[in-house]
Amino acid sequence: MDYKKIIASNLAVTGLSEEELYNMLALPPDTEMGDYALPCFRLAKTLRKAPALIAEELAANYPCGGGIVSAQAVNGYVNFKVDRKDLAARTLERILAERERYGSSEEGKGKTVCIDYSSVNIAKPFHIGHLSTTVLGSALYKLHKFLGYTPVGINHLGDYGTQFGKLISAYRRWGSREMLEEGGLRALNELYVRFHEEAEKDESLNDEARGYFKKIEEHDPEAVELFELFKELTLKEVSRIYDLLDVHFDSWAGESFYNDKMQPVIDELREKGLLVESEGAQVVDLSAYDMPPCIILRSDGASLYATRDIAAAVYRKNTYDFYKCLYVVAYQQNLHFRQVFKVLELMGKDWAKDLVHVAYGMVSLEDGSMSTRKGRVVYLKDVIDRCIEKALAIIAEKNPSLENKEEIAKTVGVGAVIFGALYNNKIKDITFSYDKVLNFEGETSCYVQYTCARAHSVLEKGGEERICQPDAVTPQEFEVVKKLAEFPDVLTNALEKYEPCFVARYCVDLAQLYNKFYFDCSILNAEGQTRAFRLALTESVLITLRNGLGLLGIGVPSKM
């Protein structure tokens, strides 16, 4: 039941709609005061009365019923209390009936959402800097699917550009098949770093690299064969990481896929009088919108990221007829996407308004940032492996007799990496700390997973009896029930704001409330209806936490 809707529909305030009243309702800091509160201060000017008097009149005239048992005026607020036994019964019945579908909806039925995320570069390391786009995009994919949308996950591979000419040059000079078979992607990165070191001494290497890239564009068999080798090697290695992180894609169409799709876009820009020449380059003038020009073709005729992104957007609309198209890309690209979206709007694409740049902050380790060219790079696989190793050490110390320690440590370690990237608002820069993300006492996935293991243990010992209708509800039980009832709204809000952190924080909050209930209220030693209700409450918590963590891509071990 939407109690806020019930309250708002039964309030009559001159000059305010039901929706406005709904949005004004808040949660009191102390639930003993009430479950919902209407602050009357902003009504004072309109109604020309003191807030306290307005509150008293509204409380006196409120028709209780429909799940609302009381309305009381306190210091300019109207505090409403719900029927706690009714809320508990309805909430637990729904969760135990819907189980792994609890929180889902059909709100997105018939709507396709394209999500462009991860977008790794071929032949470059999958490093810690790719963590946010990968897990944020994956969480948004899972959330959209859970709420009834048809998501299309797109890995817009960086598989086009002069860097491939550099790699061919480096490989032919210093590399070998054996080197790549043995060293994989890291060996490729070493070749890339060495090329830049040598090119600083010998400028002609850059001309050689441009020549090799031109050969790729001209479909030279040897150049294309090496390019495909680098691509195959990259995708093989990154796929292992995607599997670990439970990340999946529906399309791997990279930049090179749009090579033959750019010319129609360029022709359309020219036909519509949008292309102008600037210092030999072909650009779209955006000065009227307080932006620098969007360069479509360089003076040498080469295309740029913007050209390919415009072509990609047109292709995605034609192919998927998307409701929204999300670009999960770091905030440094804010201007780029503003330019691209504006150019599409100027081209008359009315769907340009449905393009969304989901910007996020940067991730670095405590010892600083990275540079691919200089070789200072932190591989994501190394970060994951270290978290798994640390998780195994903690588990071995705390529960040495636990079976399947390695598998559980993998679930805990991988979860810690994902949760560490998703717990804060996406726009914040993150300094990744191993100790922080693997703290079993803190606001971490480990803490939530441990709470799930505790709930699972209670249910194993408690038997099958479940009753959703309590004979009474303690304050601790009610706090858990209220939090459980919020879950569907949390998911809707997370999707609207593109903020999976809402789900991560919710999981921590629910785990904390359950643990307080667990310590304050006996479960297994309770009797009769109370015991059966508390077991139903425990199972509802476990189901909801599993669903929440699952939407982030995090598994839940039954024992820890």
Count Cα atoms within 13 angstroms, Cβ side, for 305.
9
pLDDT of residue 379: 85
Confidence at 369, pLDDT banded by 50, 70, 90: low
How does residue 374 score in pLDDT terms, banded at 50, 70 and 90? low
Compute the average pLDDT of residues 48-71. Answer: 94
In-domain check, residue 372: no
Whether 180 is in a domain gets the answer yes
Assign residue 157 the CATH number of its domain: 3.40.50.620
| For residue 117, pLDDT beyond 70 | yes
Task: Determine the 3-state secondary structure of 79 from DSSP.
Answer: strand
d(CA 131, CA 422): 10
Structure tokens at 149: 């949308």
Q: What is the mean pLDDT of the chain?
A: 93
How high is the pLDDT of residue 160? Answer: 83
Given a cut of 90, whether residue 129 has pLDDT beyond it is no
| 175 & 255 share domain | yes
Tell me what pLDDT residue 365 has.
Answer: 75
C-alpha dihedral sign at 122, 123, 124, 128:
positive
DSSP characters over 208-224: HHHHHHHHHHTT-HHHH
Domain boundary among 41, 63, 82: 82
Q: Is the pLDDT of residue 455 over 60?
A: yes
Q: Are 539 and 459 in contact (CB under 8 A)?
A: yes
Label residue 33 exposed, middle or buried (CB < 10 Å: 0-12, 13-18, 19+): middle
Over 60: is that where the pLDDT of 69 sits?
Answer: yes
Q: What's the chain's Rg over C-alpha atoms?
A: 28
Q: Is 458 left (phi over 0), alpha (psi -120 to 50) or beta?
A: alpha
Which helix (H) or strand (E) segment holds residue 69: the answer is: strand 68-74
How far is 359 from 181, CA to CA, in rounded Å? 36
Asked whether residue 47 is assigned to any structural domain, the reply reads yes
Domain region containing 151:
112-261+303-365
Q: Name, in order, each residue with C-beta under 8 angstroms of 327's C-beta and a sequence gap of 6 or more.
A: 116, 337, 355, 356, 357, 358
Asked whether residue 69 falls in the same domain as residue 137, the answer is no
Largest CA distance in the chain: 87
What pTM was estimated for this model as a whole? 0.91
Mean pLDDT, residues 238-248: 94
The predicted pLDDT at position 12 comes to 85
Are both 39 and 151 inside the same structural domain?
A: no
In the structure encoding, which two tokens stand for residue 463, read together?
Answer: 């038997």
Q: Are 234 and 119 in contact (CB under 8 A)?
A: no
In a domain, 404, yes or no: no
Q: Which residues are bridge partners to 431 per DSSP?
A: 364
Q: What pLDDT, on the 0 to 100 scale, is given for residue 130?
A: 92
Q: Which residues contact 112 (CB under 8 A, 6 or more apart)?
A: 149, 150, 151, 152, 320, 321, 322, 323
What are the pLDDT digits (tens) for 140-163?
A: 999 999 999 999 999 999 988 888
- H-helix segments, 333-404: 334-346, 380-398
Co-location of 51 and 145 in the same domain: no
Helices 162-174, 204-217: inter-axial angle, 10-degree rounding: 110
Can you tell me the distance from the alpha carbon of 484 to that of 503, in angstroms, rounded to the nearest whole number? Answer: 12
pLDDT at site 100: 98
Give the span between the Cα atoms of 77 and 468, in whole angstroms: 32
- Tell me, yes or no, whether 354 lies in a domain: yes
The answer on 120 and 40 residing in a single domain is no
Element (H, E) at 518: helix 501-520
Strands 36-39 and 77-82: antiparallel
Reply yes or no on whether the pLDDT at 14 is more than 90.
Answer: no
**87: helix, strand or coil:** helix
Q: What's 39's domain CATH number?
A: 3.30.1360.70
In the predicted model, is pLDDT for residue 373 greater than 80? no
Contact 375, 140 (CB under 8 A): no
Please indicate, yes or no, if residue 243 is contained in any of the structural domains.
Answer: yes
Residue 510 lies in a domain: no
Confidence of residue 218 (pLDDT cuts 50, 70, 90): confident
> pLDDT: is 218 or 346 the higher one?
346
Distances (CA, A) of 232 to 59, 123, 159, 235, 324: 69, 9, 11, 5, 31
Task: Return the percentage of the chain with pLDDT > 70, whole number.
Answer: 98
pLDDT score of 295: 96
3-state secondary structure of 253: coil
**Whether residue 511 has pLDDT greater than 90:** yes
pLDDT at 376: 63
Mapped onto helix, strand or coil, the DSSP state of residue 303 is strand
**Domains contained in the chain, number:** 2
Average pLDDT over residues 465-471: 93
Are residues 123 and 61 located together in one domain of the fold?
A: no
Instruction: Please provide the size of the chain in residues.
Output: 560
- Cα torsion at 420, 426, 427, 430 (round to 10°)? 10
Distance CA 295, CA 304 (A): 7
Arithmetic mean of pLDDT, 298-316 = 91
